[in-house]
Amino acid sequence: MVTVKIDGIEVQVQEDTPILKAAEKAGIWIPTMCHSELFEPYGVCRLCSVEVIRGKRTRIVTACNYPVREGLTIQTNSAKIQWIRKIIMELMLSRWPNVKVVSEMAAKLGVKESRFPSLERDEAEDACILCGRCVNVCREVVQAEILAFAHRGIKREVVLPFGDQSNKCIVCGACAHVCPTGHIKMVVEDYKGKKPEFTLGVKTPISVPTLQAVPRVPVIDTESCIYFETGGCQTCAKVCEPQAINYKMEDEIVEVEAGQVLLTTGYDLFDASKLAQYGYGRLDNVYSSLDFEAILNSTGPTGGKVVMKNGNEPRSVGILHCIGSRDVENHPYCSRVCCMYALKFAHLVHDRTDAAIYQFYIDMRAFGKGYEEFYSRLLDEGITMIRGKAAEVVERSHGINGDGSLLIRCEDTLIGKFREIPVDMVVLCNAIEPRHDIEAIRRIFSISKSPDGFFLERHPKLDPTSTMSDGIYIAGCAQGPKDIPDTVAQAGSAAARILSIIAKGEVDIDPIRAFIDEKYCAGCRMCNNLCPYSAIDFIDDKKISQINDVLCKGCGTCVAACPASAITGKGFSDAQIFAELEGLLAI
């Protein structure tokens, strides 16, 4: 620690602390325009010039980067310093008369107008004042090194590489964030003609994944975090006192030894943009059921309010059932849950807005306990139910009356007429479909899937939760579309099955094993390489092969191959099969 005297106030700071920080500690304000805590002092505005007195020598230095030493005396507001600051402000005012930060600083330093006429005068209110904050933040913090100064002297300017948008720019917005005049702006552009996809609102790269996350710990999104783009920033690590930020943490594969596995891998939502006629991803205010679920969520992007992209409440909402399900072109099966959540949506929209609500359904399937009653209630609430699958959603053209910017076309099969219903918002009830990686998972566990693509149960009626592989169980939408009560029931059943085996402490295995009769084995070793489980060893002493009972799964491949018929498959011996054959063919 060293002691320095700033404007008569003694203050103790670490050696080499910049004067600016020491003055802050002493409660003394020093003006500056280019300084930021984010990066190394740049020292170009020269407004923080102060007088440093050491012995007999007096020097003018910049406070932002001059390191203090023991015994320094510093004058931050002497007549000379005031004079320097005044002329600097005059120079700045003469060039940027309308920039707010400049005129404010000038006013603070008592400068009203400039004595210098300037040919480089820039009248813009958001003119670039060449403070270099954007360049420094881009180079030192973000480390993308996109922004830089070009040209010399009075022609100096901040530019992008070759004056053009660069794909090396990671669009982090740090430059716009530090720009004191607002010269740098972030603009949302259409991406390749496609409207920006629906997102869950503004999100920083560090966030708690979901509200109910356990443990409730924030995570870093490596795709949007600056550090993972350029190796720069690391601001979070700098501010985290317990030093809990770990950039090296990675997704890792944890191997757990388990005797039984319950597969509840869930489902994917059908991508409604495949059905171009409904305009998903193309038209504004056409949402998937999951998007709409987010809108209705009180912690969602709209805070639970049902509003359109322009912020207004919709005057009418259309809910379209069976998008991708009950559709021979896509999924022939029924997704089961849509009818009921569509009714829930209708109920909530009715609750929160005055919008007219239309449901477009093929068949209303209110199959569960209390569901049909809910459906009746909805009908009483005044929801319009139209029996007929919607044909298409288009932007409403002129000449069609009604409240809505979109138009739903459909055939109402109850009245046998073609109808066009104008709505402001469309909600699509996407089909539930198998997870995209279900094939890979199926192979890992050696189980099958049914023609609809979901996992196949051992028996559709008698054993809907276990599979053909012992110890592998399935539950929920991994097995087929189902609602929450059904999922809970199935999962409970699976858990009970698993627990019963754990409780027993031992496992029954099939007694089907192969066995080599030493007497007949010639030691030809033909079976050795055939065994997929490497369960057959050759005993050198005896010159015969032997089967390991624990490894053997009883497939019988070796039995079939043994030229000496020395191998017998228990339960499936040659004699047994021959007997079966004889029995079968006797009649």
Window 455-514: residues binding other proteins (CB under 8 A): 456, 459-461, 468-469, 512
- Kindly state the number of chain residues that form the binding site for other proteins, as judged by CB under 8 A: 71
Nearer to other proteins, 3 or 448 (CB): 448
547 binds other proteins (CB under 8 A): no
Which residue is associated with the tokens 């015969």?
544
Nearer to other proteins, 540 or 582 (CB): 582
Shortest reach from residue 395's CB to other proteins, in Å: 43
519 binds other proteins (CB under 8 A): no
520 binds other proteins (CB under 8 A): no
Nearer to other proteins, 92 or 272 (CB): 92
Site for other proteins in 86-145 (CB under 8 A): 87-88, 91-92, 94-95, 115-120, 130, 132
Structure tokens at 6: 């700033």
Member of 54, 100, 104, 149 binding other proteins (CB under 8 A):
149
Q: What are the φ/ψ torsions at residue 261 (nearest 5 degrees)?
A: -130, 135
Reduced 3-state DSSP string for 228-241: HHHCCCCHHHHHCC
CA atoms within 13 A on the CB side of 208: 9
Q: Distance (Å, rounded) from C-alpha 320 to C-alpha 307?
A: 18
DSSP 84-117: HHHHHHHHHHHH-TT-HHHHHHHHHTT--S-S--
Nearer to other proteins, 47 or 323 (CB): 47
Nearer to other proteins, 49 or 545 (CB): 49
Cβ atoms 306, 296 nearer than 8 A: yes
Comparing CA positions, the residue from 531, 525, 530 lying closest to residue 564 is: 525
23 binds other proteins (CB under 8 A): no
Cβ atoms 314, 423 nearer than 8 A: yes
Site for other proteins in 413-452 (CB under 8 A): 443, 446, 448-451
Q: Distance (Å, rounded) from C-alpha 104 to C-alpha 197?
A: 41
Structure tokens at 507: 């496992």
Shortest reach from residue 343's CB to other proteins, in Å: 32
User: Near other proteins by CB under 8 A, which window of 80-88, 307-315, 417-425, 479-487?
Assistant: 80-88
Instruction: Enumerate residues 6+ apart whose C-beta is below 8 A from 304.
Output: 295, 296, 297, 298, 352
Nearer to other proteins, 422 or 556 (CB): 556
CA trace torsion 235, 240, 241, 245 (10° rounding): -110
Q: Distance (Å, rounded) from C-alpha 362 to C-alpha 320?
A: 10
Site for other proteins in 47-76 (CB under 8 A): 49, 60-62, 65-67
Shortest reach from residue 168's CB to other proteins, in Å: 17
CA atoms within 13 A on the CB side of 272: 27
526 binds other proteins (CB under 8 A): no
Shortest reach from residue 254's CB to other proteins, in Å: 25
Burial class of residue 531 (count of CB atoms within 10 Å of its CB; 0-12, 13-18, 19+)? buried
Shortest reach from residue 393's CB to other proteins, in Å: 36
Instruction: Enumerate residues 6+ apart whose C-beta is below 8 A from 430.
Output: 269, 270, 271, 272, 288, 289, 290, 323, 324
Nearer to other proteins, 14 or 446 (CB): 446
User: Near other proteins by CB under 8 A, which window of 36-44, 174-182, 327-335, 484-492?
Assistant: 36-44
User: Near other proteins by CB under 8 A, which window of 226-234, 354-362, 429-437, 556-564?
Assistant: 556-564
Member of 159, 419, 553, 564 binding other proteins (CB under 8 A):
553
User: Near other proteins by CB under 8 A, which window of 239-247, 265-273, 324-332, 566-574?
Assistant: 566-574
Member of 1, 79, 154, 188 binding other proteins (CB under 8 A):
154
Structure tokens at 177: 């964030």
Comparing CA positions, the residue from 197, 247, 254 lying closest to residue 222 is: 247
Cis status, amide bond into 215, omega within 30 of 0: yes
Nearer to other proteins, 58 or 277 (CB): 58
Shortest reach from residue 119's CB to other proteins, in Å: 7
User: Near other proteins by CB under 8 A, which window of 212-220, 357-365, 369-377, 548-556?
Assistant: 548-556
Shortest reach from residue 543's CB to other proteins, in Å: 24
Continuous segment of H or E residues that includes residue 273: none
394 binds other proteins (CB under 8 A): no
* Count, residues in the chain: 587
Q: Distance (Å, rounded) from C-alpha 28 to C-alpha 21?
A: 10
Nearer to other proteins, 188 or 550 (CB): 550
Shortest reach from residue 84's CB to other proteins, in Å: 5
User: Near other proteins by CB under 8 A, which window of 38-46, 170-178, 411-419, 537-545?
Assistant: 38-46
Q: Is the dihedral of CA 336, 339, 342, 343 positive or negative?
A: negative
